[in-house]
Amino acid sequence: MLDIALNNYVQAFDTTPQKIKDVLFADFTSSAIKNITHRHNAQNNMLDISATIGYVLVGLIPVKNIIEVLKLEAQLDQNTARNIAYDIREQIFAPIAQELASIQAQAQNSWGQINVLQPQTMLTVAPVLDESITREKLQMIPPALQDHPALELPTKVAPAPPQNLPTEPKAIDNIPPDNRIDLRDKRDTRF
């Protein structure tokens, strides 16, 4: 995730040219973002994609790094991030290419200061089993059976079924005709 402080965003926004600010708040920009995310089946990532576009427009992220940021922020694969970035460049950035070029030096400086936080795997320590308090499974023998010898379980294995025992289901011919339902006939007269 990107670690961009609010005051850095406000400061970058204040120095952004007016034509870029107009594009940032334009209706066609939001509808273009909606169409692009829909086209690439990334509707669930629309907020992350629009935030990335905003960061590029105010000069916090260079245009050349948009694919990398889309992969990181919106958790997209390389191909989808590339296709979305191409559509963004064509539909949103192309009309203001000169203005964006004028803030790319500032964007490169800002990009060097932004801390990119990589997701980390957190190690968890399994709790240690306190063996001082454990339950033992007790075998309770009723007092009346304590004098008797222990019961022995049968050790014999059940014999296999005879070979002539039918194992197939009954044939449908054994069912009387009046109890059969013809599923091919849609008009059942019993109901």
108 CB contacts (<8 Å, ≥6 apart)?
62
Q: For residue 110, what pLDDT is reported? A: 81
Q: List the domain boundaries for the chain.
A: 2-114
Q: What is the pLDDT of residues 2-28, one digit of tens each?
A: 767 778 888 888 988 999 999 999 999
Bridge partner list, 116 = 2
CA distance 2 to 61: 10
Q: For residue 39, what pLDDT is reported? A: 93
Banded pLDDT at 150 (limits 50, 70, 90) = low
Average pLDDT over residues 143-158: 63
Q: For residue 28, what pLDDT is reported? A: 92
List Cα–Cα distances, 81 to 32, 41, 152, in angstroms: 16, 11, 70
Q: For residue 123, what pLDDT is reported? A: 47
80 CB contacts (<8 Å, ≥6 apart)?
40, 42
Q: What is the pLDDT of residues 71-127, one digit of tens each?
A: 988 899 999 999 999 999 999 999 998 999 898 888 888 887 775 544 444 445 555
From the list 22, 117, 14, 92, the residue with the least C-alpha distance to 60 is 14
Amino acid at the residue 106? Q
Average pLDDT over residues 159-179: 65
Q: List, as one string, the DSSP characters of the chain.
A: -EE--HHHHHHHHHTS-HHHHHHHT-HHHHHHHHHHHHHTT-GGGHHHHHHHHHHHHHTSS-GGGHHHHHHHHS---HHHHHHHHHHHIIIIIGGGHHHHHHTHHHHHHHHHHSEEPPP-PPP-PPPPP-TTS---------GGGTTSPPPPPP-PPPPPPPTTS--SPPPGGGS-GGG---TT-S--TT-
CA distance 42 to 105: 30
Q: Are the C-beta atoms of 64 and 20 separated by less than 8 Å?
A: no
Q: What is the pLDDT of residues 21-71, one digit of tens each?
A: 999 999 999 999 999 999 999 999 999 999 999 999 998 899 999 999 999
